[in-house]
């Protein structure tokens, strides 16, 4: 496995732990397994950064149009993501934030 795939697997695994295995959709009541989704798809210029990741259950991840009509979903997904992160931690995990490393360290210590 190349380094990019290892990094992606690590990043997604850590993010699902940080989000406590919960779906970010506030209307979701599913208890199914969480999948980490790219809000802006990699094929459309998205990246493997925390600001672009959201945890979704299988049902919500399979919503029609989520992958092929991502522009219709971007704002809603970012809203769900921010709501979930603010509810869980009191901040949004974003690499561009000046407090990113401090926030990341807080999460690593909390979920170790």
More confident residue, 24 or 71: 24
Residue 35 β-bridge partners = 56
Q: What is the dihedral of CA 15, 102, 4, 51, to 10 degrees?
A: 60
| 21 touches 58 (CB < 8 A) | no
* Percentage with pLDDT > 70 across the chain: 99
**Digit-coded pLDDT (tens) for 31-85:** 889 999 999 988 888 999 999 999 999 999 988 777 778 788 899 999 999 999 9
Looking at residue 104, its pLDDT comes to 95
Chain centroid to CA 11: 10
Name the residue with higher pLDDT: 1 or 33.
33
Strand partners, 20: none
For residues 78-97, give the mean pLDDT.
96
CB-based contacts of 63, cutoff 8 Å, min separation 6 = 73
Alpha helices in the chain (DSSP H): 3-18, 58-61, 70-89, 100-110
């Amino acid at each position: 496995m190349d380094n990019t795939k290892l990094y992606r697997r690590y990043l997604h695994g850590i993010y699902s732990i940080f989000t406590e295995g919960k779906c970010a959709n506030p209307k979701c009541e599913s208890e199914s397994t969480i999948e980490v989704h790219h809000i802006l798809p990699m094929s459309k210029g998205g990246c493997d950064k925390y600001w672009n990741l959201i945890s979704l259950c299988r049902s919500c991840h399979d919503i029609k149009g989520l992958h092929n009509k991502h522009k219709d979903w971007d704002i809603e997904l970012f809203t769900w993501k921010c709501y979930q992160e603010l509810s869980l931690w009191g901040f949004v995990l974003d690499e561009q934030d000046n407090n990113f490393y401090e926030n990341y360290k807080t999460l690593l210590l909390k979920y170790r």
